[in-house]
Amino acid sequence: MELHRNNSSSPSSSNSSSIATPNPHKTLSSSADPMHSWWESVSKARSRIHALAAILPSSSAHSLSALADSDRPALSLLSSHDAYQALSSSLSGSHSDPLCHWLYDTFLSSDPHLRLVVLSFIPLLSALYLSRIHSPDPPSLAGFEAVLLALYASETKSRNGKPLLVTIPDLSHPSIYHSPLRKPPSPNSTTTPSVGVISPPLEPQIAVKSTKRACIVGVALHCFYSQISQMPSWSKLEFCRFAAGWAGQDCPCRTEFDRLNTSTSNDGNGSGDGEIDNGNGNVEIEEVAEEMGNLQIRKDSSACESPKGKGDRIPLPWEILQPTLRILGHCLLGPLNSTDVKDAAAYAVRCLYARASHDLVPQAILATRSLIQLDIRTREAAMAAASATANANTPTKLKKPEILLVSK
């Protein structure tokens, strides 16, 4: 206000100040304009898609151009299975691989949706890198390592030298949600919660050394897990296939904890042909056994098969196995996941349990066994709910009224 009054008294000073000093309200409105930021994000995503179309074969260029013309091109690219297949079939991982350069530059962009596109390729990139780096004659994989180092550097910066911790509840104290405290704790008593370290502090790395390779790949898998709710289903499905191949164990101990039956019965009411008499004729049950059978693990499903050359048996240190099990836990128990993803995750967890049992790794045995038990209980609960729903909707035969004879 004072500046405005001083400028109004002197027209010359007002003109000079208006030229030399920009209007702060105008600058703020232009930078905070949602339409401007949206258009900037769309333009950046379209330029990245056009750059990808120039790299891929001409057969995929038309579909990518259609994605670039959408209102949300980055999310359209993320949800396009054709674009995923086209990029995954052309990855080589060498230093001169243009697709690795595209993934690297795209991840360094500030657009969060473009970063999600790069994160969706982490299962494929990790599987290709780990299978080839452990081959007898490993090729040059500098392109893959550049992308992994970019992910590692971003996570190192975001953690700011701090570890990832989890608070473990103290089971020696009663839960306030189940039983009330009988007496209030004394003011002098202090309880220190148990803290578990998920990941220690990260140190900056400028190259993928053999001693730090597992940590760098594990951090990349953690980045995928942190955004797994936004990942497409085929990316989760491929990771489950890769994890089953990494385990490399298909022995009978894999099915040690499975208690689900392959066939179900009608539990009584009606004949063995799946029909019941309701007084008006025989009514066929609506394929209840088939629906309940779909809740079981489809062991012969193609969802459980590992892609050739991408899921070979590899060493599984805890730095890689821990984020792998966290991802599989989401794929196994996530309510919005498809049946194929859940079945593939169940198969992979059982393969990893067999691998951990043969390698005698206690923490891996405990983790995989817990996931298997959770999977079994979830499937049993779903089968019980399906059976109860079927029984509630099934008409039953009306009983004749009972006649009581009383002697005089």
pLDDT, position 268: 42
In the numeric block, the tokens 């066929």 are attached to: 284
| pTM, 2 dp | 0.74
**If pLDDT is split at 50, 70 and 90, which confidence band does 222 have?**
very high
Buried b (16+ CB within 10 A) or exposed e, 230-256: ebbebbbbbbbbbbbbbbbbeeeebee
CA atoms within 13 A on the CB side of 277: 4
| Averaged pLDDT for residues 275-279 | 42
Worst-scoring range by mean pLDDT, 122-136, 139-153, 282-296, 367-381?
Answer: 282-296
For the stretch 199-217, pLDDT in tens is: 888 898 889 998 999 999 9
Q: Which residue has the higher pLDDT, 227 or 295?
A: 227
**If pLDDT is split at 50, 70 and 90, which confidence band does 308 have?**
very low
Phi, psi dihedrals of residue 36, rounded to the nearest 5°: -70, -45
Q: Is the pLDDT of residue 395 over 80?
A: no
Q: Which residue has the higher pLDDT, 174 or 347?
A: 347
Q: Using an 8 Å Cβ cutoff, are 221 and 327 in contact? A: yes
Angle between helices 112-119 and 98-107 (to 10 degrees): 140
**If pLDDT is split at 50, 70 and 90, which confidence band does 42 have?**
confident
Worst-scoring range by mean pLDDT, 40-49, 93-102, 267-276, 304-313?
Answer: 267-276
pLDDT, position 61: 73
* CA–CA distance, 83 with 66 (Å, rounded to integer): 11
Q: Is the pLDDT of residue 225 over 90?
A: yes
Q: Is the pLDDT of residue 320 over 90?
A: yes
Percent pLDDT > 70 in the chain is 67
Report CA-CA distances (Å) from 66 to 48, 70, 77, 181, 389: 13, 7, 10, 63, 45
| Averaged pLDDT for residues 295-322 | 66
| Averaged pLDDT for residues 36-55 | 86
Q: Is the pLDDT of residue 297 over 90?
A: no
**If pLDDT is split at 50, 70 and 90, which confidence band does 182 have?**
low
pLDDT, position 240: 95
**If pLDDT is split at 50, 70 and 90, which confidence band does 380 have?**
confident
Report CA-CA distances (Å) from 238 to 123, 307, 335, 369: 7, 8, 19, 22
Burial (CB < 10 A; 0-12, 13-18, 19+), residue 14, is middle
Q: Is the pLDDT of residue 340 over 80?
A: yes
* CA–CA distance, 280 with 244 (Å, rounded to integer): 52
Q: Which residue has the higher pLDDT, 38 or 191?
A: 38
**If pLDDT is split at 50, 70 and 90, which confidence band does 130 have?**
very high
Closest CA to 72 of 47, 38, 96: 38
